[in-house]
A and B are shown apart, each in its own frame.
Chain A
Amino acid sequence: MAPAAPGARDVAIVAFGQSDHRRSTDELSEVEMLMPVLHDVLAATGLKTGDIGFTCSGSSDYLAGRAFSFTMALDGVGAWPPISESHVEMDGAWALYEAWVKLQTGDCDTALVYSYGKSSPGSVRDVLTRQLDPYYVAPLWPDAVALAALQARALIDAGDTDEPALAGVATRSRTAARANPHAQLRGSVPHGDYVVRPLRTGDCPPVGDGAAAVVLAAGERARRLCERPAWIRGIDHRIEAHGLGVRDLTDSPSTRLAAERAGVFERPVDTAELHAPFTSQEVVLRKALRLGEQVTVNPSGGALAANPVMAAGLIRLGEAAARIHSGASERALAHATSGPCLQQNLVAVLEGDPR
């Protein structure tokens, strides 16, 4: 899995698309929300659904409130006649990882990865409690904001941040999101009242619906599909112990290890797209990834500007790739997370060809 593994294939993100993220899209079914995004990435590469070697998606039945909800979305990719397809009940970043592995096997040269989440039908704070340890934690119904707030307090106690600094993270993110036409929250947003102290509304991500898709391609195929492919130089994901009280919440060793294995620390990156739905989590990630002030963090606005659950991590990979595609970045880091308090973390390094 190391970036220079012998025989590893060069694989790149060659196209990225996302929906406009909105508080509610109840006029659209999942497939209706997803389809324009799929068409965007196919149009960008000139590929048709029948040309794609492997399709992988990420979504959650708990968000939809229905079993096997992903099968309905498959209508949007033209799944008949039968295609080579897989699904992860996780953020689409992990679907991208699976597709990357598939491309490494040499089975195919192209892959379509998509993910989507509609938080609007339910209450996402309550829905996310169902992913917690069912014996000791889930019966207490601690919501996602409460768990993030415990982490924020631990950081403040450790002297790693304070409430004004957290407000600064929120302001910087949403100011950056002014340039992102897809973002849900942009520009000046009040720091607001405490939701679960010490986190205020401004420290929390917007709740919304959205979808994202990328196309991956290997070797020469990538060069033919994209002027400046975003080569995945390394990608890795790691997990923490599930017991929150076992972990040091002020640190993210799993992120650091994934970054090490992905080759992040071999050379500086110029951009980092971090999946930090709460302001306090950016503090943890910057420390774990040793990001200095010279690195542009979340030029898209990050998850504080738009957090479609199950797609927000894939969007970080897509946004980082888009910066490579446009020439705004030479070497970018993309991070995705899943679970409470940064429990699972995926890190990738993307590079453009030298110019």
Chain B
Amino acid sequence: MTQQTSQAMDDLLTDLRAALPPHTLVTDPTERDTYACDGLAAYRVRPGLVVLVDTAEQVAATVRACARHHVPFVARGSGTGLSGGALPHADGVLVVTSRLRTLHEVRPQDQRAVADPGVINLQVSKAANPHGYYFAPDPSSQQICSIGGNVAENSGGAHCLKYGFTAGHVLSLEVVTPDGEQVTLGTEAPDAPGYDLLGAFVGSEGTLGIATRATLRLTRMPEDVRTCLAGFASTDEAGSATSAIIAAGVVPAAIEIMDALAIEAAEKAVSCGYPEGAGAVLVIELDGPEVEVAHELERVRQLCDEHGCSEFRAATDAAERAEIWKGRKSAFAAVGRISPDYIVQDGVVPRTSLPDVLREMGRISRERGVRVANVFHAGDGNLHPLVLFDASQNGATERAEEVSGMILDLCIEHGGSITGEHGVGADKARYMPRMFSEEDLDTMQLVRCAFDPAHLANPGKIYPTPRMCGERPRVVHAADEPVVAGAEVF
């Protein structure tokens, strides 16, 4: 910390002590260390100050003080993000919104819920379920991740294929802009007049401000849900079956692939009883009106058969459905059983490229001697390769990181994306220039310049080199050089 930034932080603290109750301010270094990373533990930075806000007004007061003293700030919800989106700034303030956890309203007649940013994703559905509704975006971490984090990262989960991203399920947001102003974006009804700032804000990873309240769209629970499991000899066949299902006009609620290594891990962890010897399995969930689901189930069964399915099971009740999902849902954690360390990658390829990309990944894996387990949302081509390694072996971490990067390059080569739901964060900012041209990135940052000309909101995330805003002198807060503590283990 330079003398100048230290002085700014002292001045800021003086202001915040006057404006906020004492219990909201965390200054003790050890306590601050608790917040040094989010779900991506590979990067750690001790925040300069942590503010545990109780109200939206406190968020605004904190951000206003940051603007006054030119101190960067980073928002954090539950801290489950996997791209370092909530990685703190050493000379900045970490605004923790997890205490803002009031679910203000569930209005089934309007298909709406109004939630604070710290409300846990699953809590919204639990409150809406008795009325016959649920909140469709369901990241795998939905038991712990917060709505504010979902909004920041546009994190959707397995059901995006049919139900779309988080962005399609947020009707309006109350936000604190980087100059500390409280503004509402959107209206409770769709098609609010003006630019779709709401659409730009969702997924902006905390770089345009902090959401302090969200009006969410609830989805009617389907009349029927059927989950099936199909075993294949290889991911090639499973991938082809996936494409065939989509091409046939069936849009499942979810369609997930696990390869042999992921199956092996899941079996070891939870004995999920997936087809023996399968090189890949598909978990397919169909939902909707009973008569349509029955029709689609037959079609899916037939298409799986045509693409070499060795075993097909359709759950007949909730218990069997849970049994099928058990393997898939435990897969990430289960990988810990077969490897001491692993990197979870998040990339997207066009669905039709899946077989090619998987083959190519297999080749890279063999050539580099790094095992890669695959678990992913096949329906929308969102890959989550798990790159396995043992950090205690010389050079293993570097090799795993190299393979992880090569997989992203593969995604870009095939016209895909470097992230489907985890965000770019601190982790992948360096890959953005591989996916987008300088002009693309500069144009995106025009939005940033409109919201945050001083670059105080979550600096160093998404964009590797912030753009200069207008003719103003360049004021750029680069990301801290994080301490890399080896690949994440979670």
Answer whether A and B are interacting partners: no
Residues of B whose CB lies within 8 Å of any CB of A are none
Residues of A whose CB lies within 8 Å of any CB of B are none
